[in-house]
Amino acid sequence: MTAACNPVLPGSHPDPSICRVGDEFFVVTSTFEYFPGLPVHRSRDLVTWELVGHAVHRDDQLDLSTVPASGGLFAPTIRHHAGRFHVACTLVGGRGRQGSFVLTATDPAGPWSDPAWIEDAPGIDPSILFDDDGRAWWCGTRLADPGDWPEQTEVWVRELDLATMSLVGDEHVVWHGAVEGAVWAEGPHLFRHAGEVLLLASEGGTERHHAVSAARGASPSGPFTGSRANPLLTHRHLGGDVPVANVGHADLVDDGRGGWWATVLATRRLPLDGARADALQGRETWLVPVVFEDGWPVFAPGTGRLAEEVDVPWAGAHAIDARSLVDHFDGPRSHPELVSVRTAPGVHRAGLGERRGHLRLHAVSGGLHEPAPHAFAGFRLEQPVATLATVLEAPDAPSPGVLAGLALRLSDRRHLTLGVRARAAGPIVELLLHVDGEDRVLGVAEVPAGRLGLVLEVDGFDAVARVEVGERRIVVGTADLSPLSPSEGGGFVGVVGGVFVVDDTAADGHDAAPAAFADFDVLSLVH
């Protein structure tokens, strides 16, 4: 088939930005508190995509250790200029350095540079236009001060001096959104097209009212005139009972064959109690065909809606299956898709060498509810139906404060754990749902010490938790996962499923001496 299957980057891959270099396309997405950050995916045909690297792949590039959940690395932009990839992004929150910066690399697989911090660049969602005349222009969005209404933001533009990586010349506020009263004008990108400058920006907020609009002007610094067809792409008028919603944050690329494409973020919606809620995957990356008419982009021509299959006429035939992600922890490096929560030196990678074939996680926090680095390694939940599994040893000796096992994590405030706890009376496996400061016990099973399999079977908003002891399969409990839906639990990130260990006798923070550890034989996420 030659159709791209949407979402082209399933699982939590929000705020996509795309560029083309020769016959290869590159997409970068936002990652918030997760490390490594800012994955770069590559495709030759827009149909099959592979992860080639992360723009944030070293602990010393940026300090994520104290960023809040859904803080950290916000919407990035990727562009290629003078032989180098440039990723512009913003680090939000935490006690380390914040603000906007640029990372560069000649090879998207890395190494990526240290950040070049851009002074006097308030706000978020930076983007760079490398203009035809050799000049470069920076644009971003920030809260309007004073705004005429709350949540009003403004898109601003300044020239970027590439030699010094600093902003020069006058600042130009060019856009507040297409409609009077628009909130959260954001995700701006400037393009040179047919001799004019095209401004693409989203508005309405990243949830139900998300929408993409366009404006045109003679110069990157404006003034810009909006399209009379704005918003050019949205699902907000379709109501909540739709399989795909929250459509926005578009970036554009020409395919070098006369065609145009956009990447956007969108959320799948699944039935819940007679209505729908956002799927656990959160905001994902979708591909949308684009044509230009009278100088304006037309998104999803003929329908104006995102489609699950998008025909790419020049792509070869491919079969695309839902992927399984498996790490047996026996290679020299961990699986490239494996992510950890906040940068925690030595936590998620030190384990590999200590016992070949195992991932050893040292507890660094007392609980996954803490806004701290966690001893956690997981994969994005890419599809609504998935099985997450691991194997570990239930210890003989009691260690009541220590819990180790599987977690489905939406945020610090919302997660499900299936964990082993070693008490004096023998080990137990507990199924716990943590919601806003409260642990709900959904099931407990007594198990013998020794090797155990832990399994979480997820189907939409339902989960079944099992423990496997030899040939025995014991159901520990079932869970309603709807509190982990991003539309219920909030935030910018979808659910990540992985292994973890916590020790509530451990001091907070990653400088503490490791109090406890757990060895995991495998982590598998079968979709």
Q: Mask: binding to ligand 6LW, 15-34, rule CB under 6 A, as x and -?
A: x--------------x----
Number of residues that bind ligand 6LW (CB under 6 A): 13
Q: In the block, which residue shows the tokens 């949407």?
A: 6
Q: Where are the alpha helices (DSSP H) in 247-365?
A: 351-354
CB of 270 to ligand 6LW, least distance (A): 20
| Among 25, 34, 74, 517, interactor with ligand 6LW by CB under 6 A | 74
CB of 54 to ligand 6LW, least distance (A): 17
At 496, list the tokens. Answer: 């990540």
Q: Do you find a cis peptide bond into 36, omega within 30 degrees of 0? A: yes
Q: Which is nearer to ligand 6LW, 15 or 503 (CB)?
A: 15
Q: Which is nearer to ligand 6LW, 75 or 368 (CB)?
A: 75
In this structure, which amino acid lies at residue 204? G
Give the integer Cα–Cα distance in Å for 482 and 491. 14
- Residue 271, number of CB atoms within 10 A of its CB: 12
- Residue 397, number of CB atoms within 10 A of its CB: 7
At 104, list the tokens. Answer: 């560069």
Distances (CA, A) of 59 to 111, 154, 263, 344, 468: 13, 33, 29, 8, 36
| Among 27, 40, 67, 75, interactor with ligand 6LW by CB under 6 A | 75
Q: In the block, which residue shows the tokens 């939406």?
A: 410
Task: List binders of ligand 6LW among 88-147 (CB under 6 A).
Answer: 124-125
Does residue 519 bind ligand 6LW (CB under 6 A)?
no
Does residue 427 bind ligand 6LW (CB under 6 A)?
no
Catalytic residue among 33, 154, 159, 186: 186
**Is 521 tagged catalytic?**
no
Q: Which is nearer to ligand 6LW, 247 or 522 (CB)?
A: 247
CB of 30 to ligand 6LW, least distance (A): 5
**Is 15 tagged catalytic?**
yes
Are the C-beta atoms of 136 and 126 separated by less than 8 Å?
Answer: no
Q: Which is nearer to ligand 6LW, 75 or 339 (CB)?
A: 75
Q: Closest by alpha carbon to 91, among 113, 61, 57?
A: 61
CB of 14 to ligand 6LW, least distance (A): 5
CB of 249 to ligand 6LW, least distance (A): 5
Task: List binders of ligand 6LW among 246-275 (CB under 6 A).
Answer: 248-249
Q: Do you find a cis peptide bond into 231, omega within 30 degrees of 0? A: yes
At 202, list the tokens. Answer: 């989203």
Enumerate the active-site residues: 15, 186
List of residues contacting ligand 6LW (CB under 6 A): 14-15, 30, 74-75, 124-125, 186-187, 206, 248-249, 492
